[in-house]
Amino acid sequence: MTTISKPWLGIEPVGRARATTGAVWTLQILCAAMFAFAGFHKLTGGADMVQAFATIGLGQWFRYLTGAIEIVSAVLLLIPALAVVGAAALAVTMVGAVITHAAILGGSAVPALVLLLATSAIVWLRREELSRYA
């Protein structure tokens, strides 16, 4: 059975295997859960988040902004027509997180790097959908 490509409805293009589609959706759901949790932790003022953003030195408004980006983008990951936008926003956010861990915070940047790779993979696998935003 073939599917007509209607990416704005979330219907996958002809030729994408069901396994690939399932893997992308699994990755999107896992990323959405992780980013929703992380964003909620930032917005509710977890002591470790307050301390980390104090160390960064941009002020607590940056913690709120980062938390809001993470939560909004997590929701976008679950909307077929907007998933690529959410993944792209999160990938950019994770580039900043990796750099911040390496240059300012210290400690392991591996969790941020893994999330960067995951969100970048979502963007890559949904790259055809980017043309509607160009």
Tens of pLDDT, residues 18-54: 788 888 999 999 999 999 999 999 999 999 999 999 9
Q: What mean pLDDT is reported for the chain?
A: 89
Least confident of 25-34, 75-84, 109-118, 121-130: 121-130
> Is residue 114 over pLDDT 60?
yes
Q: List the end-to-end C-alpha distance of the chain, in Å, as a whole number.
A: 31
Q: Check residue 2 and give its pLDDT.
A: 47
Joined tokens for residue 33: 């859960």
> Is residue 1 over pLDDT 70?
no
DSSP 8-state assignment for residue 6: B
Q: 55 near 104, Cβ under 8 Å?
A: yes
